[in-house]
Amino acid sequence: MTTESQSLCTRSMQAPSSHHRRAWCPSFKLREVASMYCTMVAIFFIILVAALQGTAPSENHFPYKVPLDPEGILELSWNISYTEEVICFQLLIKELKYGVIFGMSDRGEFDNADLVVLWSDGKNSYFGDAWTDAKGQIHLDSQQDYQLLKAQKTFGGLLLLFKRPISTHDPKDYLIEDDTVHLVYGFLDEPFPSLEAINTSAIQKGLQRVQLLKPNISKPTLPPDLEDMEITAPDIIIPNQETTYWCYIKELPDHFSRHHIVMYEPIITKGNEALVHHMEVFQCAAEIEKVPHFNGTCDSKMKPEKLNHCRHVLAAWALGAKPFYYPEEAGLPFGGPGSSKYLRLEVHYHNPLELKGVHDSSGLRLYYTSMLRPFDAGIMELGLVYTPVMAIPPKETDFILTGYCTDKCTKLALPQSGIHIFASQLHTHLTGRKVITVLAREGRVTEIVNRDNHYSPHFQEIRKLKKIVTVLPGDVLITSCTYNTEDRKLATVGGFSITEEMCVNYIHYYPQTQLELCKSAVDPGYLQKYFHLINSFNNEDNGNYSNSSVKEQFASVSWNSFSRDVLKSLYDFAPISMHCNKSSAIRFPGEWERQPLPKIKMGLKEVTPQCQTIPGLSPASPALVNIDGKKG
């Protein structure tokens, strides 16, 4: 984010700001007055008429941009000022009828949402900070934290410029954190006499996921010999179905020597911005000598089996993400001996309107250098081993599974000065809802490595950490995933299939170590004890499950509060099998079975903003908006 962009948002804010504060937010003085002259409060509320003159902010004032709807009618740009604790939005409405709704909610639903609404009663247009209750009914917010700075008709559509504090202290507002934010939008196709008259269930609406609060990290200097390589889909036609994962194999040039990837960025075919959801470049396993070329959907029956060995992430991009820069002191090695020359591009197309015949050549552009940086960057997998012994009972709203990277493993595998984590990519399959990795030192949690309380399996991106986390030998890394299996009838076991589950945090760190994988799973013997006791408790012990797979055993459990609670207790108690591995197959030497669960105290206090709402005030008025070119 440039300082220019901040100052624009700040400049246009200043005059209205002080005015606004007096008008909308009762100051303490007003509160005193209010308590004495309650009935006089109303006259303090004035209608803010937004100034509609001035030039449109140029696009580069807003470093971040996403289309909201699949047709790209709504386009959101934003910037953040961490010093002023303000986030500034620019919403481009390419086709305006009677208004739009934009906002945020816990997981993209339209109830309990924090909204701004631009609406017309057929005569005038209004802008207001609003919220929906548990039934989706819209109400004007008594504390107007979204402030309209500009509403301007341009050639491209109506530009709405508005800002809000990052933290508003208003319980009706969404608390923007640095994890995934579910943005919601809706189109108003008819006039409404009032905000309350809008029926949110009847309008065209949708959601879009982004990380709004990107970390404020300055761009590292790039090496002078920078070269780039495009890994893009070869002019394919996007299938006319909602979800497509496209797979394409690309080969590195012959005799391509060892290089460091120092940056990469997305290439998105013009017009397809709303269709390309996320993209990843994987490197195939070095052991696979010849990977067949392939260009097709990843679930195709034609897909060669060998492509399943192309899982080593080189680069990942998701909607709203900016170019990814490695820290100046490190780069991701590729090429040269011991490195596969085969790369797999995977593009997730999200085509809910099932558009036909759309050509696409999107992909990623890798920037690399032969001037190797001081440190090789590495990627390490934390969390749970892909095994069915870790399972989630059905009908759970928030069941937690936890994987450990134990002190024994970090003691053995990490250098004395530790490793430095600078980025993280969280990963689960379909039922994942939250993921967190914490660092524990000397028995106490001391740091959050990465956390997403609004995690969605449909939105996975490599995220730079706000602050580099150093892991020393003897530290413990604990990764917990929260799952929702309300719609499942059987237990969901761990595994590779999309209907099975994973709990993984790919941490990006330097200097590279031999430790590729530091994950755990419950000891399988203890799980057998669980099956035995739960079946005998439920009087369903047929005594013959020695031939059954763990998945089948889980499928035959009668789920009730007891079998669920005891499974939880087992996972909180039973010893673990540690995978402290050099590669997915080779463990570090040592005893890794039946290891004790790390005993960790929660030493970290949750910092929740303590805010007080001001009760008993009448709802504030919305702002009157003068849009001359409003369509009817």
Residue in 20, 82, 169, 245 annotated catalytic? 245
Please give the backbone phi and psi of residue 509, each rounded to the nearest 5 degrees, phi first.
-150, 170
Q: In the set 537, 584, 603, 624, which binds a second copy (CB under 8 A)? A: 537
Stretch binding a second copy (CB under 8 A), from 140-148, 262-270, 495-503, 527-535: 527-535
- Count other Cβ atoms within 10 Å, centred on residue 451: 17
Nearer to a second copy, 32 or 299 (CB): 32
Q: In the set 417, 560, 618, 626, which binds a second copy (CB under 8 A)? A: 560
Q: Is 455 a catalytic residue?
A: no
Nearer to a second copy, 245 or 537 (CB): 537
Stretch binding a second copy (CB under 8 A), from 37-45, 224-232, 491-499, 556-564: 556-564
Q: Is 427 a catalytic residue?
A: yes
Q: In the set 313, 570, 600, 624, which binds a second copy (CB under 8 A)? A: 570
Stretch binding a second copy (CB under 8 A), from 335-343, 485-493, 555-563, 577-585: 555-563
Element (H, E) at 566: helix 561-571
Q: Write down the H helix ranges in 25-104.
A: 28-36
Amino acid at 183: L
Q: Which residue carries 């067949």 as its tokens?
A: 292
Stretch binding a second copy (CB under 8 A), from 106-114, 461-469, 492-500, 557-565: 557-565
Q: In the set 14, 39, 544, 612, which binds a second copy (CB under 8 A)? A: 612
Q: Is 412 in the site for a second copy (CB under 8 A)?
A: no
Q: How far apart are CA 1 and CA 80, in angstroms?
A: 7
Q: In the set 536, 558, 618, 626, which binds a second copy (CB under 8 A)? A: 536
Q: Is 565 in the site for a second copy (CB under 8 A)?
A: yes
Least Cβ distance, residue 29 to a second copy (angstroms): 6
Restricted to residues 572-591, the positions that interact with a second copy (CB under 8 A) are: 572-574
Q: How far apart are CA 119 and CA 279, in angstroms?
A: 36
Q: Is 532 in the site for a second copy (CB under 8 A)?
A: yes
Nearer to a second copy, 216 or 560 (CB): 560
Amino acid at 605: K
Least Cβ distance, residue 552 to a second copy (angstroms): 21
Q: Which residue carries 């982004």 as its tokens?
A: 210
Which distant-in-sequence residues (6+ apart) come within 8 Å of 560 by Cβ?
538
Q: How far apart are CA 285 and CA 311, in angstroms?
A: 8
Restricted to residues 223-262, the positions that interact with a second copy (CB under 8 A) are: none
Q: How far apart are CA 545 and CA 530, in angstroms?
A: 13
> Which residues are bridge partners to 104 per DSSP?
114, 183
Note whether 173 and 145 are within 8 A (CB). Answer: yes
Stretch binding a second copy (CB under 8 A), from 36-44, 283-291, 292-300, 567-575: 567-575
Stretch binding a second copy (CB under 8 A), from 269-277, 388-396, 568-576, 623-631: 568-576
Which distant-in-sequence residues (6+ apart) come within 8 Å of 553 by Cβ?
531, 545
Task: State the greatest distance between any 2 C-alpha atoms of the chain, in Å, as a whole number.
Answer: 83
Q: Is 204 in the site for a second copy (CB under 8 A)?
A: no
User: How many chain residues bind a second copy (CB under 8 A)?
Assistant: 24
- Count other Cβ atoms within 10 Å, centred on residue 212: 22
Least Cβ distance, residue 559 to a second copy (angstroms): 12
Least Cβ distance, residue 35 to a second copy (angstroms): 9
Restricted to residues 10-49, the positions that interact with a second copy (CB under 8 A) are: 27-29, 31-32
Which distant-in-sequence residues (6+ apart) come within 8 Å of 599 by Cβ?
443
Element (H, E) at 12: helix 3-24
SS3 of 46, please? Answer: coil
Q: Is 569 in the site for a second copy (CB under 8 A)?
A: yes
Least Cβ distance, residue 442 to a second copy (angstroms): 20
Ordered strands of the 295-297 beta sheet: 295-297, 243-251, 342-350, 276-283, 312-318
Structure tokens at 534: 């739960």
Query: Of 481, 522, 485, nearest to 503 (Cα)?
Result: 481
Residues forming the active site? 245, 427
Binding region for a second copy (CB under 8 A): 27-29, 31-32, 529, 532-534, 536-537, 560-562, 565-566, 568-570, 572-574, 610, 612
